[in-house]
Structure 1
Amino acid sequence: MNKNEFKGERIAIIILSLLLFLASLTQSIYSNGSYPEEKFYGFMALLLGWADIFGAGISWMANPFLFLCWVFLLSNTIRNAMVSGFLAVCFSLSFLLFSTIYKDEAGNKGPIVAREIGYWLWVSGCILSFIGSLNLFQKIKEQQKKRQA
Protein backbone atom coordinates (compact mmCIF):
# COMPACT_ATOMS: atom_id res chain seq x y z
CA MET A 1 0.00 0.00 0.00
CA ASN A 2 1.22 3.46 -0.91
CA LYS A 3 2.18 5.65 2.07
CA ASN A 4 -0.04 8.46 0.76
CA GLU A 5 -3.14 6.33 0.26
CA PHE A 6 -6.00 7.49 2.43
CA LYS A 7 -3.71 10.12 3.98
CA GLY A 8 -6.52 12.67 4.15
CA GLU A 9 -8.80 10.23 5.95
CA ARG A 10 -6.07 9.23 8.39
CA ILE A 11 -5.27 12.86 9.23
CA ALA A 12 -8.98 13.70 9.61
CA ILE A 13 -9.50 10.83 12.05
CA ILE A 14 -6.52 11.93 14.13
CA ILE A 15 -7.52 15.62 14.16
CA LEU A 16 -11.15 14.97 15.08
CA SER A 17 -10.23 12.46 17.77
CA LEU A 18 -7.53 14.78 19.13
CA LEU A 19 -10.01 17.67 19.29
CA LEU A 20 -12.45 15.53 21.27
CA PHE A 21 -9.63 14.43 23.58
CA LEU A 22 -8.42 18.01 24.14
CA ALA A 23 -11.97 19.21 24.78
CA SER A 24 -12.41 16.44 27.36
CA LEU A 25 -9.41 17.74 29.30
CA THR A 26 -11.16 21.05 29.95
CA GLN A 27 -14.47 19.57 31.07
CA SER A 28 -15.74 17.83 34.18
CA ILE A 29 -15.57 14.05 33.84
CA TYR A 30 -17.52 12.99 36.90
CA SER A 31 -19.08 14.35 40.05
CA ASN A 32 -19.20 12.78 43.48
CA GLY A 33 -22.44 14.28 44.75
CA SER A 34 -20.89 16.37 47.53
CA TYR A 35 -22.20 19.79 48.47
CA PRO A 36 -21.01 22.15 47.17
CA GLU A 37 -20.57 19.84 44.25
CA GLU A 38 -17.01 18.81 43.57
CA LYS A 39 -16.24 18.20 39.92
CA PHE A 40 -13.20 16.42 38.62
CA TYR A 41 -11.72 17.60 35.37
CA GLY A 42 -10.14 15.64 32.54
CA PHE A 43 -6.73 17.26 32.86
CA MET A 44 -6.36 16.06 36.45
CA ALA A 45 -7.63 12.61 35.51
CA LEU A 46 -5.01 12.43 32.76
CA LEU A 47 -2.25 13.37 35.20
CA LEU A 48 -3.37 11.29 38.19
CA GLY A 49 -5.66 8.56 36.85
CA TRP A 50 -2.90 5.96 36.83
CA ALA A 51 -2.73 6.17 40.66
CA ASP A 52 -5.90 4.04 40.99
CA ILE A 53 -4.84 1.57 38.30
CA PHE A 54 -6.30 -1.39 40.22
CA GLY A 55 -9.67 0.32 40.58
CA ALA A 56 -11.56 2.81 38.45
CA GLY A 57 -8.21 4.15 37.26
CA ILE A 58 -7.84 1.11 35.00
CA SER A 59 -9.84 3.14 32.49
CA TRP A 60 -6.86 5.53 32.37
CA MET A 61 -5.12 2.83 30.29
CA ALA A 62 -7.25 3.98 27.37
CA ASN A 63 -4.94 6.99 26.99
CA PRO A 64 -1.77 5.13 25.95
CA PHE A 65 -3.80 2.99 23.55
CA LEU A 66 -5.46 6.09 22.08
CA PHE A 67 -2.06 7.73 21.58
CA LEU A 68 -0.77 4.54 19.99
CA CYS A 69 -3.75 4.50 17.65
CA TRP A 70 -2.86 8.00 16.48
CA VAL A 71 0.79 7.03 15.96
CA PHE A 72 -0.21 3.93 14.00
CA LEU A 73 -2.58 5.99 11.86
CA LEU A 74 0.24 8.44 11.14
CA SER A 75 2.62 5.62 10.25
CA ASN A 76 -0.05 3.96 8.08
CA THR A 77 -0.16 0.70 10.06
CA ILE A 78 -3.93 0.51 10.06
CA ARG A 79 -4.28 -2.98 11.55
CA ASN A 80 -2.30 -1.88 14.63
CA ALA A 81 -4.34 1.32 14.81
CA MET A 82 -7.52 -0.71 14.76
CA VAL A 83 -6.37 -2.99 17.60
CA SER A 84 -5.12 -0.14 19.79
CA GLY A 85 -8.29 1.85 19.06
CA PHE A 86 -10.41 -1.12 20.14
CA LEU A 87 -8.43 -1.43 23.39
CA ALA A 88 -8.82 2.32 24.01
CA VAL A 89 -12.60 1.97 23.66
CA CYS A 90 -12.72 -1.03 25.99
CA PHE A 91 -10.63 0.64 28.69
CA SER A 92 -12.50 3.95 28.44
CA LEU A 93 -15.86 2.22 28.78
CA SER A 94 -14.60 0.24 31.79
CA PHE A 95 -15.10 3.42 33.86
CA LEU A 96 -18.84 2.70 33.69
CA LEU A 97 -18.30 -0.44 35.77
CA PHE A 98 -17.14 1.46 38.86
CA SER A 99 -19.23 3.27 41.46
CA THR A 100 -16.39 4.62 43.64
CA ILE A 101 -13.04 6.27 43.02
CA TYR A 102 -10.20 7.70 45.09
CA LYS A 103 -11.03 11.29 45.91
CA ASP A 104 -7.88 12.42 47.74
CA GLU A 105 -4.25 11.59 48.44
CA ALA A 106 -5.16 9.91 51.73
CA GLY A 107 -6.78 7.03 49.87
CA ASN A 108 -10.36 7.94 50.77
CA LYS A 109 -12.89 6.75 48.22
CA GLY A 110 -15.96 8.63 47.15
CA PRO A 111 -18.95 7.75 45.02
CA ILE A 112 -19.16 8.41 41.32
CA VAL A 113 -22.61 9.96 41.08
CA ALA A 114 -22.57 11.08 37.46
CA ARG A 115 -20.38 10.81 34.38
CA GLU A 116 -20.23 14.22 32.82
CA ILE A 117 -19.53 15.73 29.41
CA GLY A 118 -15.74 15.44 29.68
CA TYR A 119 -15.97 11.67 30.08
CA TRP A 120 -18.29 11.32 27.11
CA LEU A 121 -16.04 13.52 24.94
CA TRP A 122 -13.09 11.29 25.84
CA VAL A 123 -15.02 8.10 25.06
CA SER A 124 -16.21 9.66 21.78
CA GLY A 125 -12.60 10.37 20.79
CA CYS A 126 -11.68 6.75 21.46
CA ILE A 127 -14.68 5.44 19.53
CA LEU A 128 -13.96 7.77 16.61
CA SER A 129 -10.37 6.51 16.39
CA PHE A 130 -11.48 2.89 16.45
CA ILE A 131 -14.36 3.25 13.98
CA GLY A 132 -12.20 5.40 11.70
CA SER A 133 -9.36 2.87 11.64
CA LEU A 134 -11.84 0.03 11.15
CA ASN A 135 -13.34 1.89 8.19
CA LEU A 136 -9.89 2.48 6.70
CA PHE A 137 -9.01 -1.19 7.17
CA GLN A 138 -12.14 -2.19 5.25
CA LYS A 139 -11.38 0.31 2.45
CA ILE A 140 -7.86 -1.06 2.11
CA LYS A 141 -9.14 -4.65 1.94
CA GLU A 142 -11.64 -3.69 -0.75
CA GLN A 143 -8.96 -1.89 -2.72
CA GLN A 144 -6.66 -4.91 -2.52
CA LYS A 145 -9.46 -7.19 -3.80
CA LYS A 146 -10.03 -4.85 -6.77
CA ARG A 147 -6.31 -4.88 -7.60
CA GLN A 148 -6.22 -8.69 -7.50
CA ALA A 149 -9.24 -9.01 -9.78
Structure 2
Amino acid sequence: MKIKKFLLTVSVVVYLISLSQKTFCTPNGCGYFAGILNLISGWIGVFMGNFPAFPWLANPLLFLSWYLFKKQKTNWSFLLSVISFILMLSFLLVDEIIHKGGSIVSRVLSYQIGYWLWVLSSLIMLTANLMVYKTSIKLNKLVARY
Protein backbone atom coordinates (compact mmCIF):
# COMPACT_ATOMS: atom_id res chain seq x y z
CA MET A 1 0.00 0.00 0.00
CA LYS A 2 2.94 2.35 0.51
CA ILE A 3 3.88 2.10 -3.16
CA LYS A 4 0.31 3.00 -4.09
CA LYS A 5 0.41 6.19 -2.01
CA PHE A 6 3.91 6.96 -3.31
CA LEU A 7 2.85 6.67 -6.97
CA LEU A 8 -0.22 8.82 -6.40
CA THR A 9 1.96 11.48 -4.77
CA VAL A 10 4.54 11.32 -7.56
CA SER A 11 1.82 11.65 -10.19
CA VAL A 12 0.44 14.78 -8.51
CA VAL A 13 3.90 16.31 -8.00
CA VAL A 14 4.95 15.68 -11.62
CA TYR A 15 1.66 17.24 -12.77
CA LEU A 16 2.25 20.32 -10.62
CA ILE A 17 5.79 20.68 -11.95
CA SER A 18 4.46 20.43 -15.52
CA LEU A 19 2.31 23.50 -14.89
CA SER A 20 5.41 25.65 -14.50
CA GLN A 21 7.06 24.48 -17.72
CA LYS A 22 6.72 25.34 -21.38
CA THR A 23 4.46 22.90 -23.18
CA PHE A 24 4.92 23.45 -26.91
CA CYS A 25 6.44 25.84 -29.43
CA THR A 26 4.98 27.64 -32.43
CA PRO A 27 6.67 29.93 -34.97
CA ASN A 28 5.81 32.74 -32.53
CA GLY A 29 7.90 31.13 -29.78
CA CYS A 30 7.57 28.93 -26.74
CA GLY A 31 7.57 31.35 -23.85
CA TYR A 32 3.92 32.03 -23.25
CA PHE A 33 2.69 28.45 -23.38
CA ALA A 34 3.37 27.50 -19.76
CA GLY A 35 1.26 24.60 -18.53
CA ILE A 36 -0.65 26.74 -16.04
CA LEU A 37 -1.87 28.99 -18.84
CA ASN A 38 -2.99 25.95 -20.81
CA LEU A 39 -4.83 24.62 -17.77
CA ILE A 40 -6.56 27.93 -17.13
CA SER A 41 -7.55 28.72 -20.70
CA GLY A 42 -7.82 25.31 -22.39
CA TRP A 43 -11.41 24.71 -21.36
CA ILE A 44 -12.52 27.61 -23.56
CA GLY A 45 -11.51 25.73 -26.72
CA VAL A 46 -13.50 22.69 -25.61
CA PHE A 47 -16.68 24.75 -25.68
CA MET A 48 -15.69 26.26 -29.03
CA GLY A 49 -15.48 22.73 -30.49
CA ASN A 50 -11.81 22.91 -31.43
CA PHE A 51 -10.05 19.53 -31.58
CA PRO A 52 -6.79 20.87 -30.14
CA ALA A 53 -8.69 21.66 -26.97
CA PHE A 54 -10.13 18.19 -26.40
CA PRO A 55 -6.90 16.83 -24.90
CA TRP A 56 -7.52 19.43 -22.17
CA LEU A 57 -10.33 17.15 -20.93
CA ALA A 58 -7.58 14.84 -19.68
CA ASN A 59 -7.10 17.25 -16.77
CA PRO A 60 -10.45 16.78 -14.99
CA LEU A 61 -10.34 13.05 -15.78
CA LEU A 62 -6.91 12.76 -14.19
CA PHE A 63 -8.07 14.75 -11.14
CA LEU A 64 -11.04 12.42 -10.78
CA SER A 65 -8.78 9.39 -11.22
CA TRP A 66 -6.57 10.63 -8.37
CA TYR A 67 -9.60 11.13 -6.15
CA LEU A 68 -11.11 7.72 -6.90
CA PHE A 69 -7.76 6.02 -6.47
CA LYS A 70 -7.41 7.57 -3.04
CA LYS A 71 -10.96 6.42 -2.21
CA GLN A 72 -10.00 2.90 -3.39
CA LYS A 73 -12.44 2.86 -6.27
CA THR A 74 -9.73 1.54 -8.50
CA ASN A 75 -11.87 0.20 -11.34
CA TRP A 76 -13.13 3.70 -12.13
CA SER A 77 -9.75 5.24 -11.42
CA PHE A 78 -8.14 2.82 -13.86
CA LEU A 79 -10.65 3.61 -16.60
CA LEU A 80 -10.25 7.35 -16.14
CA SER A 81 -6.47 7.13 -16.10
CA VAL A 82 -6.53 5.22 -19.40
CA ILE A 83 -8.80 7.80 -21.02
CA SER A 84 -6.74 10.64 -19.59
CA PHE A 85 -3.52 9.16 -20.92
CA ILE A 86 -5.01 8.65 -24.40
CA LEU A 87 -6.37 12.19 -24.48
CA MET A 88 -2.99 13.57 -23.47
CA LEU A 89 -1.25 11.62 -26.21
CA SER A 90 -3.85 12.79 -28.72
CA PHE A 91 -2.33 16.26 -28.48
CA LEU A 92 0.53 14.87 -30.57
CA LEU A 93 -1.96 14.80 -33.46
CA VAL A 94 -2.48 18.55 -33.24
CA ASP A 95 -0.92 20.47 -36.13
CA GLU A 96 -2.22 23.93 -35.28
CA ILE A 97 -3.25 25.67 -32.10
CA ILE A 98 -5.59 28.61 -31.60
CA HIS A 99 -4.42 31.11 -29.01
CA LYS A 100 -4.67 34.76 -27.94
CA GLY A 101 -8.42 34.59 -27.48
CA GLY A 102 -8.98 32.70 -30.71
CA SER A 103 -7.45 35.43 -32.86
CA ILE A 104 -4.25 33.63 -33.88
CA VAL A 105 -3.73 30.18 -35.36
CA SER A 106 -0.16 28.88 -35.21
CA ARG A 107 1.53 25.67 -36.25
CA VAL A 108 2.82 23.47 -33.43
CA LEU A 109 6.54 22.97 -34.08
CA SER A 110 7.63 20.99 -31.04
CA TYR A 111 6.56 19.67 -27.68
CA GLN A 112 8.43 20.85 -24.62
CA ILE A 113 9.17 19.39 -21.18
CA GLY A 114 5.89 20.64 -19.70
CA TYR A 115 3.90 18.55 -22.15
CA TRP A 116 5.99 15.45 -21.51
CA LEU A 117 5.73 15.87 -17.72
CA TRP A 118 1.97 16.26 -18.09
CA VAL A 119 1.81 12.96 -20.00
CA LEU A 120 4.18 11.35 -17.49
CA SER A 121 1.89 12.29 -14.59
CA SER A 122 -0.94 10.40 -16.27
CA LEU A 123 1.31 7.46 -17.12
CA ILE A 124 2.38 7.20 -13.47
CA MET A 125 -1.27 7.17 -12.41
CA LEU A 126 -2.03 4.52 -15.02
CA THR A 127 0.90 2.45 -13.73
CA ALA A 128 -0.35 2.74 -10.16
CA ASN A 129 -3.79 1.57 -11.26
CA LEU A 130 -2.29 -1.34 -13.19
CA MET A 131 -0.32 -2.41 -10.13
CA VAL A 132 -3.43 -2.39 -7.98
CA TYR A 133 -5.40 -4.21 -10.68
CA LYS A 134 -2.72 -6.88 -11.09
CA THR A 135 -2.51 -7.36 -7.32
CA SER A 136 -6.29 -7.71 -7.02
CA ILE A 137 -6.36 -10.34 -9.80
CA LYS A 138 -3.67 -12.36 -8.01
CA LEU A 139 -5.59 -12.12 -4.74
CA ASN A 140 -8.84 -13.15 -6.42
CA LYS A 141 -7.15 -16.21 -7.97
CA LEU A 142 -5.66 -17.14 -4.62
CA VAL A 143 -9.02 -16.81 -2.88
CA ALA A 144 -10.75 -18.79 -5.64
CA ARG A 145 -8.36 -21.70 -5.08
CA TYR A 146 -9.48 -22.06 -1.51
Q: TM-score, normalised by structure 1?
A: 0.89
Gaps of 5+ in 1: 1-5
Calculate percent identity across the aligned residue pairs. 23
Hey, what's the Cα distance between the residues in 1 that align with 2:54 and 2:103? 16
Compute the displacement of 1:132 (Å). 1.4
- Of the three residues 90, 96, 103, the one matched with 2:99 is 103
Hey, what's the Cα distance between the residues in 2 that align with 1:38 and 1:22? 19
Q: Give the structure 2 partner of residue 63 of structure 1.
A: 59
Hey, what's the Cα distance between the residues in 1 that align with 2:104 and 2:27? 15
Compute the displacement of 1:106 (Å). 4.3
Q: Give the structure 2 partner of residue 3 of structure 1.
A: none
SS at match of 2:23: strand
| 1:48 and 2:41 matched | yes
Is the contact between residue 10 and residue 74 of structure 1 (CA under 8 Å) also seen in structure 2?
A: no
**Large movers: runs of 4+ above 4 Å:** none
| 1:12 and 2:6 matched | yes
For the structure 1 residues 138 and 38, does the alpha-carbon distance in structure 2 shift closer, same or farther, using more than 3 Å as the test?
closer
Equivalent pairs, count: 141
| 1:81 and 2:74 matched | no
Q: What amino acid sits opposite 2:8 in the alignment?
A: I
For the structure 1 residues 106 and 62, does the alpha-carbon distance in structure 2 shift closer, same or farther, using more than 3 Å as the test?
closer
RMSD of aligned Cα (Å): 1.2
Is the contact between residue 43 and residue 53 of structure 2 (CA under 8 Å) also seen in structure 1?
A: yes
Is the contact between residue 55 and residue 101 of structure 1 (CA under 8 Å) also seen in structure 2?
A: no
